[in-house]
Amino acid sequence: MATTALPVWRRAVIKIGSGLIAPGGKKCSTQYTLSIAGFITAAKNQGKEIIMVSSGAVAGGLSTQPELLKHTTWTIPEKQALAAIGQPLMMNHWRRFFDFPCAQLLLTYDDVHNRKRFVNAKNTIRQLLRMGCLPIVNENDTVAVEELRVGDNDNLAAYVAMLAEADLLIICSDIDGLYDSDPHCHSNARLLPVVEKIDRTIYTLAGGSRNPIATGGMRTKIEAAQKACARGINTVLINGRRREALDSLLAGQLSGTLFKRSQNPMTAKKHWMVHALTPCGQIIIDSGAGRALLQGGASLLPSGVTGVAGDFKKGDAVLVLLQQGKQIVPIAKGITRYGARDLTKIKGRKSAEVTGILGYTGAEVIHRDDLVLIYE
């Protein structure tokens, strides 16, 4: 297979999927993980830093519960129990390969979406790397509920790459890279060695996962690449079953697909706002305010607000929607300085009128430092 020059990197997050750790979905196996561990050791010997995001906890738990192997689906309590059983088994599976310490980090949705916890997790990863450890990360499935989950380890790996301020995200899969059609169905499918920009066309190439215990598929890998690239992190998708694909990375070459990082990456705070902050409500604005935000880099003032939706509070994240005739288009996300109740009272009013209406000195609805554009 032809190779592509790999951008220079010093710190990488490597994501290992269930199909590589537990082929067949029954138990953790060395079939593919042995060569992956060899890559990690060789990379560290080159002076590089590695953080691993590893699936495999549920598969590890299943190996101890043979009666559940007959099921194709499991209840949430069953899956959480299997994860609890399998977490130490998965860690032991990796730890035996290395002569340096491994550290387990179990992250939750709140660790990614709460700014203070996000920064705390970032500091922990930095310290572990200073200590020469291999951080091994997974979502804390034993306590996460469906509504409050990252949901898949591809996107979790992108968040970890942001936390770690990595310059490379490596997604190891059971496929050679991104193809222009499904290679399982089309013999003439063509591998895309480089993706310059992730847009709707790239998403149309995505399919689902063929692994019954996996939570992702090609779509989640593209989502992860988009998050990482927006933060200035190159992302590669390789076949983790092929040792030569891993060896190529050590030699500065890529046998797979490279998603190129943005040349104008977002700041850390604004990237977190776009990709990790969940809006609690919506603010609808008029065309004048839309121009001020999109073209002038301005703050959002009460006079430009035409509508308020949701029961958000001061300091919550909100989605900013632009009214364009009969259409309402999302253009930004920001942190509001007013709750929904007060904003409803002052929408459309001049800033000088706010004090008389609310009884306290007014401010911008969203300051430009707390607002990030999301339009395409």
Lowest-pLDDT choice from 12-26, 53-67, 78-92, 260-274: 260-274
d(CA 321, CA 327): 10
Architecture of domain 279-373: Roll (2.30)
pLDDT beyond 80 at 55:
yes
Q: What is the pLDDT of residue 376?
A: 45
Contacts of 361 (CB under 8 A, 6+ apart): 354, 355
Q: Categorize the per-residue pLDDT at 185 as very low, low, confident or very high, splitting at 50, 70 and 90.
A: confident
CATH 3.40.1160.10 domain range(s) in the chain:
4-271
**Which homologous superfamily is 4-271 in?**
Acetylglutamate kinase-like (3.40.1160.10)
Structure tokens that stand for 277 in this block: 């902050």
> What separation in angstroms does the CA of 199 have from each of 253, 256, 275, 307?
25, 19, 16, 30
Q: What is the pLDDT of residue 116?
A: 82
Smallest CA-to-CA distance from 343 within 364, 328, 372, 326 is with 364
Between strands 256-259 and 282-285, the pairing is unpaired
d(CA 109, CA 371): 22
CATH 2.30.130.10 domain range(s) in the chain:
279-373
Q: What is the pLDDT of residues 310-343, one digit of tens each?
A: 999 998 889 999 988 888 889 999 999 999 999 9
pLDDT beyond 50 at 244:
yes
Q: Categorize the per-residue pLDDT at 212 as very low, low, confident or very high, splitting at 50, 70 and 90.
A: very low
Q: What is the pLDDT of residues 99-151, one digit of tens each?
A: 999 999 998 877 877 778 888 999 999 999 999 999 999 888 666 554 445 56
If you average pLDDT over every residue of the chain, what do you get? 87
What is the Cβ-side half-sphere exposure of residue 284, based on CA atoms within 13 angstroms? Answer: 13
d(CA 370, CA 23): 45
Judged on CB neighbours under 10 Å (0-12, 13-18, 19+), 295 is exposed
Task: Give alpha helix (H) positions in 199-281.
Answer: 200-203, 218-230, 243-250, 268-275
d(CA 32, CA 366): 50
d(CA 162, CA 157): 9
